[in-house]
Structure 1
Amino acid sequence: MNFTITTDQIIWFCTFIGLLWGLYKIVKEAKKPNDELHNLVEKHERLLNKDNQRLEEVETSNQMVLRCMLVIINHEITGNGIDKMKEARDELQEYLIKK
């Protein structure tokens, strides 16, 4: 049993390999914009979550500062409220320590 490979078979095989490679490149290029968009959306989501966390920290800090200022204003007006000032000081210390 003799098996011979002709030049036509070699050319056909090379053409088939080239066709498969071409199809792979076409599919890869067709998926590229979708993959890039998906990666960009993931990046924006991470940045948005980070910014949201930072804004929540800023809001908490502002609330603490405003609460302390209110206690100081009340103390200046009434001359009393030393207990509230001590409570506000303790809350501020706890906040700064935890931060």
Structure 2
Amino acid sequence: MERDPIDHKGLIQEAYRIEGITAAECRSIFLDWALSLPPEMDQQQAITTLLDRYGLEYQAHPMTQVLQDGLTVLEQPRRRGGWRARSRD
């Protein structure tokens, strides 16, 4: 059996199979999944693929909302902090 390169541990797939799973549990699973992604994999594309795979069938599932939230966070511009943010170029 070939492993899924986007969900190689099967974490997201299993989360969708767990009845009664909470949003907090889904966030924990999502974090574990995100930390296990290979560095060369585009996180935004991986989340989009997972939403394409599960989002329509499981619209009310808390993992779908967690994935959507993760995608939203990745799309937001990041603020530069520290001395770079305060220095004038």
Same fold (TM over 0.5): no
Larger Rg: 1
**TM-score normalised per structure 1:** 0.29
TM-score by length of 2: 0.31
Task: Identify which of structures 1 and 2 has the higher relative contact order when contacts are C-alpha pairs closer than 8 Å and 6+ apart.
Answer: 2
Higher helix share: 1
